[in-house]
Amino acid sequence: GAGVSQTPSNKVTEKGKYVELRCDPISGHTALYWYRQSLGQGPEFLIYFQGTGAADDSGLPNDRFFAVRPEGSVSTLKIQRTERGDSAVYLCASSLGGRMGETQYFGPGTRLLVL
Amino acid sequence: EDQVTQSPEALRLQEGESSSLNCSYTVSGLRGLFWYRQDPGKGPEFLFTLYSAGEEKEKERLKATLTKKESFLHITAPKPEDSATYLCAAVSSNTGKLIFGQGTTLQVKP
């Protein structure tokens, strides 16, 4: 079946602008995760959804970052008043049930560049 | 604090030259140790999950092993197409989150 998909694949924006990044998880997966990956580093956790609710948002760096998953499937990561330091690859992953230690499957990522 | 460290940061091998990548972890109550492969411009691709010390898993030229403090990814007779960044990640019972190392970038020359 189809894997995790993310759109857009690349996004260039100007400092101060608002951006939305979309993630479509594997069909039937109830858990969805967002990560941020800087160059030469491993992914860092941002937020975890179980169904429609954010079960853990402790990785969001500040209140400019917000994510939603209104129908328990597609999720949108929203970044307000973007800063140059927000430039990174934003990865989405999903897992079947969200149990601890369950395998997470990643999408291709959205490469965000803030000028 | 939960932590995952990978070594070396970069590894260059000749085709056919076997080697191992190391992943050292310090987590509270390991709930899973994961290996992923990441090609340039792509997302991480799942390879293996290990849950308990002594466990081993194999896939083609790759074998992952786990002890109480570290995991190894053994690459036997690598080919150029094995060139990629290999990421290790651990889940602790403390946080339930996937904590990644910084990765090992492997280059296999023909």
The residue written with tokens 């100007």 in the block is A14
CB A115 within 8 A of CB A87: no
CATH architecture of A5-114: Sandwich (2.60)
Where on the phi/psi map is residue A71: left (φ > 0), alpha (ψ -120 to 50), or beta? alpha
Instruction: Using CB atoms, pick whichever of A6, A45, A111 lies closest to residue B98.
Output: A45
Say what the pLDDT of residue B1 is: 86
Question: Taking the CA of residue A18 as centre, how many other CA atoms within 13 Å lie in the half-sphere pointing to its CB?
Answer: 5
Q: Report the distance separating Cα B6 and Cα B3, nearest Å.
A: 10
**Residue B21 has which token pair?**
């990548």
Residue range A49-71, pLDDT digits in tens: 999 999 999 999 999 999 999 99
How many beta carbons lie within 10 A of that of residue A76, not counting itself? 14
Say what the pLDDT of residue A1 is: 55
Q: Which residues of B touch A43 (CB under 8 A)?
A: 44, 87, 98, 100
Q: A61: which residues sit within 8 A by CB, 6+ positions away? A: A46
State the amino acid at position B41 in one-letter form: G
Q: How confident is the model at residue A104 (pLDDT cuts 50, 70, 90)?
A: very high
Residue range A16-52, pLDDT digits in tens: 999 999 999 999 999 999 999 999 999 999 999 999 9
* pLDDT beneath 50, residues of chain B: none
Say what the pLDDT of residue A101 is: 86
Q: What is the mean pLDDT of chain A?
A: 96
Query: Which helix (H) or strand (E) is A91 found in, with range?
Result: strand A88-95
Q: Which residue of B35, B91, B97, B99 to mutate against A (max A Cβ within 10 Å)?
A: B97
The fraction of chain A above a pLDDT of 70, given in percent, is 99
- The DSSP string of B18-66 is -EEEEEEEE-SSEEEEEEEEE-TTS--EEEEEE-STT-EEEETTEEEEE
Gap between the terminal Cα atoms of chain B: 41
For residue B37, the chain A residue with the least C-alpha distance is A106
Q: What is the set of domains in chain B, with CATH numbers?
A: 3-100 (2.60.40.10)
CB A55 within 8 A of CB A48: yes
